[in-house]
Chain A
Amino acid sequence: SQTIHQWPATLVQPVGSPLSLECTVEGTSNPNLYWYRQAAGRGLQLLFYSVGIGQISSEVPQNLSASRPQDRQFILSSKKLLLSDSGFYLCAWSLQGLGEKLFFGSGTQLSVL
């Protein structure tokens, strides 16, 4: 069966520090991968998606970037965090070619202070 791992679960970072969140998927090949952000009490905003290694599409211009160095690994990064980067970050995957049913990781609660 397929599983998705996302870490860390919580993270407290000072303004201006770098960020690296990692997500890996097991049990499937060539998945679509996604990074979403959820602000407190709000819906999910798509940040990035990837259909293959090295292929990244950005949905929202911002202080963040994403990379896919391996087929089942997706990384969310920032060189310098802003206060507004605080939120709940979710990694997700879907089957290649469908892009519909999303399977989410357990999320990372990021607090930028």
Chain B
Amino acid sequence: GENVEQHPSTLSVQEGDSAVIKCTYSDSASNYFPWYKQELGKGPQLIIDIRSNVGEKKDQRIAVTLNKTAKHFSLHITETQPEDSAVYFCAASSSGGFKTIFGAGTRLFVKA
């Protein structure tokens, strides 16, 4: 079945450093790749997304890259701040589909 693998499971960085989270997907029909941030005790919130016709997308300090050939996509956070500490989930889905497949999550710690 469809699968999304996410690495690392835990990431600790110093404030101001960059953080990179990587995901791979198995379903070739996937064409939408969102990233969600989940703070403790809350529901996940969409922070950035990318579609398969785009290789890179940036929004201030966060960026996402997609390599369709290798079925890889990554989240990059630059100039990390303590408030970036949270669990981040990658996901993959196909147009019109209702099954968004999530990665297992990455717990990011940003040390002040």
Give residues in A with beta carbon < 8 Å to B: 6, 32, 34, 41-44, 46, 49, 51, 57, 59, 90, 92, 97-107, 109
Do most interface residues of chain B lie in helix, strand or loop, or is the interface mixed? loop
B32 and A42: CB pair below 8 A?
no
Q: Which of B34, B96, B103, B105 lies in contact with A102, CB distance below 8 A? A: B34
With A32-B98, A43-B103, A44-B102 known as contacts, the answer to whether A99 contacts B93 (CB < 8 A) is yes
Task: Give the total number of A-B pairs whose CB atoms are below 8 A apart.
Answer: 60
Q: Encode contact with A along B7-50: 1 for CB under 8 Å, 0 otherwise.
A: 00000000000000000000000001010100001111110010
CA distance A106 to B46 in the complex (A): 13
Q: Say yes or no for B73: interface residue by CB 8 A criterion.
A: no
Chain A residues contacting B97 (CB-CB under 8 Å) are: 99
**Smallest CB separation, B25 vs chain A (Å):** 13
